[in-house]
Structure 1
């Protein structure tokens, strides 16, 4: 298959939906010869908020100490290959095509067909193996205990802040969600956790105790270093990453840490994508992320109010996020995201708090931008695009170029 044919086949597997469980992924990794080689260190990252940024910091720290790294994250924003990187470089198109062609033949007769996410994980792990990665950083897709990434034996478990998310899959209480996230904790392997709400902290402590896993809880931000990622919350993510790198024995000194922290790049998190007018994109898709965005906006812009565009997908606490985010803009524009999971603007309208600023509905992000960009240029008002990462990806493709192909996983 060509690269585009391979992607078309892979995207067609989204009809198989989401399947939680480890037997399928283990079978796939085993038969595809994609498990890590002996001696390769694996850091597994779960949580609700800050997973991607923490993974990016870990990757940067390891690379600054001359370790060859493999980084697996999801979802992608614009280009599918963003999910799979070696030393910061996206997997080549020809490699994706080669591996997906091989995988299609491998699984053709399987009774239980692998999902989009499982196949992508297999491509990533085979690529990391073939390119001789020394450290692999894996971000869970959803949950942890039964997430496909947990089929890969890890050396360190990292848990970022936990909040209610994917309730239909992970449970409707913080304790239930934490139980799923804490499922990545392994026997006799260290666990590094962010400071958690009391209910989640208890679950993590109990799981670590049962697994005889040494537990370190990061309760303070990293200080003494300049960070390239904006927002006070990133100092906590950076501290979490530093402890994870230490846990696998990465040799670090002040210069290597400073270089890593000041050169970490993670698109879609308070990222400036235009200067005229100023356009900021940020994937604040739940209340915890919304609170971090409010804090970051105040840190960067003070009391200046933006024009905000917002879109969300199903399974998120949209009303909780909007209750916070509506404190920020002078006007709000609700958009339907170009993905099957995108919520219609009528649903977003119902989720608005009573004290919401003036708001308008749009049938697409492009139509909203056609309205707000001229107004922002004329008034000098910054634009903030926030909500689902699928919206952020669509915004980047429109504003910076690229072919946007949304996924559901």
Structure 2
């Protein structure tokens, strides 16, 4: 099979969560462990960092990978879902996995894969582990898919576990309280392995993490307890800030520039800095220069897309992959702060998510362009229009995001602003990415 035939086979033969949702969800580690054993347990051949959380785990994974690359390490990076191409999921020093490797891996292991009947995600996780071994990486940053405790990535024993935060998302799988969701996230905290939590949140959440850390002797550290961000401002398209040590009140990073310029990165960065400090304690050599250079060059080093990404200047248009209440609340806060004559919103969602609360985050004086992702889980744009009407949001229906955005641009004055989002898959459909 050539590359396209291989990808078509993987999508058609294996249940894919991003396409069909709950029917593809296969919690538990047994199948992934069997796959890895069949491959010779490649995940044990190099150091790993495990990154979970509700929001920010993708950004955090990419920031850590970029810093480690600047520090001179050969770095594997596994993330999901992809936006444009499957190859985005598996990278080494920012270069996507070879298409030939995907074909070879699938062909060689096809019979075994079919005998196990794994999910698409389980196969891609094992494929990533095997590719990182083949490339002889020094360390791999592994992003959790969903939850943590029963996520396929949780077969690794990392040198560091990082959890960004906890909020409501995938409640049908992870639980309907923050405590239950935190319990699932805490599953990546391993015995005698350092753990970093980016944000100290409500007691219901921190009690779960503290208990997990105590039971597993994990030495938990909360980034927001150790560091604070000050003097945050936008400067030439980057988010500039200082990092201050809370215990000593000393500025440890001055005029740090992040090319991931969404204000929600202020929630992630203290966790990233704490993780870097923890990695140094494991013996990794990471200079301050590598931190500065790595955090200012995440997009160039890793190819990350869709995180508060500018699409045009006149009118000013941004897209963002935020897709749950907490994530959208931050992007709305940032978008609303931009001076504008008329704010326009190109939005779409998946159908298996309660969006009633999310829609209330959008302003009623905006102009709306309702669309739907090409994904099989898409919420029909006409149904979205009806849901939006219930909270006072008015607009027209378009068959896809590109037609909706094109219309929004044509109807805009130069001093209007446009936001594109609601779902990762809406952003993924943009032709400009």
Compute the TM-score of the two structures, normalised by the length of structure 1. Answer: 0.90
* 2:378 pairs with 1:372: no
| Deviations 1:122-152 (CA, angstroms, capped at 9, x unpaired) | 1111110111111111111111000000012
Alignment partner, residue 387 of structure 1: 422
Alignment of 1:5-44 (within 5 A): 5-12=5-12, 13-14=14-15, 17-38=24-45, 40-44=46-50
Closer, same or farther: CA 245–316 of 1 in aligned 2, 3 Å? farther
Taking the aligned partners of 1:347 and 1:171, their CA distance within structure 2 comes to 26
Alignment partner, residue 215 of structure 1: 220
Q: Is the 8 A contact 2:27 2:152 kept in 1?
A: yes
Alignment partner, residue 67 of structure 1: 73
Closer, same or farther: CA 271–370 of 1 in aligned 2, 3 Å? closer
Alignment of 1:3-402 (within 5 A): 3-12=3-12, 13-14=14-15, 17-38=24-45, 40-110=46-116, 113-195=117-199, 196-219=201-224, 220-221=228-229, 223=243, 224=254, 225-249=256-280, 250-265=284-299, 266-298=304-336, 301-302=338-339, 305-326=342-363, 330-352=366-388, 356-376=392-412, 378=413, 380-395=415-430, 398-400=431-433
3-state DSSP of counterpart to 1:57: helix
| Superposition deviation, residue 34 in structure 1 | 4.5
Give the number of equivalent residue pairs.
392
Taking the aligned partners of 1:283 and 1:109, their CA distance within structure 2 comes to 36
| Superposition deviation, residue 161 in structure 1 | 1.5
| Superposition deviation, residue 57 in structure 1 | 0.7
RMSD: 2.0
More strand by share: 2
| Superposition deviation, residue 65 in structure 1 | 0.6
Give the 4+ runs in structure 1 shifted more than 4 A. none
Taking the aligned partners of 2:58 and 2:343, their CA distance within structure 1 comes to 25
Closer, same or farther: CA 181–394 of 1 in aligned 2, 3 Å? same
| Superposition deviation, residue 357 in structure 1 | 4.0
3-state DSSP of counterpart to 2:429: helix
| Superposition deviation, residue 313 in structure 1 | 1.2
Q: Is the 8 A contact 1:285 1:316 kept in 2?
A: no
Q: Is the 8 A contact 1:165 1:315 kept in 2?
A: no
**Structure 2: tracts of 5 or more residues without a match:** 17-22, 230-241, 244-253
**Structure 1: tracts of 5 or more residues without a match:** 401-409
Taking the aligned partners of 2:269 and 2:209, their CA distance within structure 1 comes to 20
Taking the aligned partners of 1:278 and 1:101, their CA distance within structure 2 comes to 46
3-state DSSP of counterpart to 2:221: strand
3-state DSSP of counterpart to 1:352: helix
Q: Kindly indicate whether structure 1 or structure 2 has the higher relative contact order, using CA contacts under 8 Å at least 6 residues apart.
A: 1
| Superposition deviation, residue 239 in structure 1 | 2.3
Q: Is the 8 A contact 1:308 1:332 kept in 2?
A: yes
